[in-house]
Amino acid sequence: MVTSLNFVIGVTSASAFPRFDLVTEEDYQICAENLQDLGLSADLVAEACAAVIRPENLSQCVTQINQETAIAPEAVLASCVSVRRPEELATCVIDITQASGADPANVLNSCRRSLLPERHSFCVLGLTQGGGIAVDQALETCLNPPEQFFDLGVSKP
């Protein structure tokens, strides 16, 4: 007696997995060239470009912030390397600095500390433009919102 067993193996579509664009030699070359154009040392540039997942995003972050603010490229590089979303860091720093005239170094530090820099900039700009509070206060409030509403002094009905 011959028995045959049929097995069904589920195959998951490749589209169900996250897609990672490949990083090429050109990405590292662009990163190195752009950062060296800002006057950063070759050793520092090599370490920075090699340390990140997306070297081209790193160089764009540093270049954009450097073009729009008076922050030293070394400080900008340190911040862009330390965040998960360098493009959002650049957007956050530039948007807040241009809209408010706040100290770019304080803005860079605040945006760097935020896990979601673009959302952080929305919060800061919305509170300063609509709520009439100072930029420095909004930078801190948006980073550390209160845990519960009753801490705000709002009484329950």
Q: Is residue 121 part of a domain?
A: yes
- Short-list 20, 50, 49, 19, CA closest to 35: 49
- Please tell me the predicted confidence (pLDDT) of residue 101: 86
pLDDT band at 29 (very low <50, low <70, confident <90, very high): very high
| Model confidence pLDDT, tens digit, residues 90-125 | 999 999 999 998 999 999 999 999 999 999 999 999
Q: Is residue 83 part of a domain?
A: yes
Instruction: Give the number of domains in the chain.
Output: 1
Q: Is residue 8 part of a domain?
A: no
Tokens 């948006």, located at residue: 142
Q: Is residue 155 part of a domain?
A: no
pLDDT band at 67 (very low <50, low <70, confident <90, very high): very high
Q: Is residue 151 part of a domain?
A: no
- Please tell me the predicted confidence (pLDDT) of residue 21: 67
Q: Is residue 18 part of a domain?
A: no
**Domain housing 56:** 26-144
Percent of residues, the chain, with pLDDT higher than 70: 79
- Please tell me the predicted confidence (pLDDT) of residue 108: 98
In angstroms, the Cα distances linking 17 to 10, 12, 14 are: 15, 9, 6
